Amino acid sequence: MEQMPVAVCSNALNSQDQTDVLYMNSPGDKSEVLDVVSPDLKRFPEFVKAKRYECVLEPGDLLFIPGKTNMSTLTSSSCNPTST
């Protein structure tokens, strides 16, 4: 039997009311902050005020993300597909 890749990924979500501190023109736009783990705080000083909700998805999990919610997938070595 062929082995299926398994991935475990961490996701960060910010609510729609944080447009200003996420450096977005309007809800649903792409944030100017590309590195949410280590942001450039000299360039984006208000980003420290952003409230981030994190979740970890494992195989078979489903995450509903409401429209216009800012979402980032945080990649790490544990997020890379591996064989089981």
Which pLDDT score, from 0 to 100, does residue 6 have?
57
Closest CA to 72 of 17, 20, 32: 32
Closest CA to 7 of 72, 71, 84, 59: 59
Question: 3-class DSSP state for residue 72?
Answer: strand
Query: What pTM does this model have?
Result: 0.66
Residue 11 CB-density burial (10 A; 0-12 exposed, 13-18 middle, 19+ buried): middle
The tens place of each residue's pLDDT in the chain, 84 residues long, gives 555 555 667 888 888 888 889 898 877 788 888 888 889 999 999 999 998 888 888 878 888 888 878 888 765 555 555 444
- Write phi, then psi, for 46 (nearest 5 degrees): -80, -10
Under a CB-based contact definition with an 8 Å cutoff, are residues 73 and 10 in contact? yes
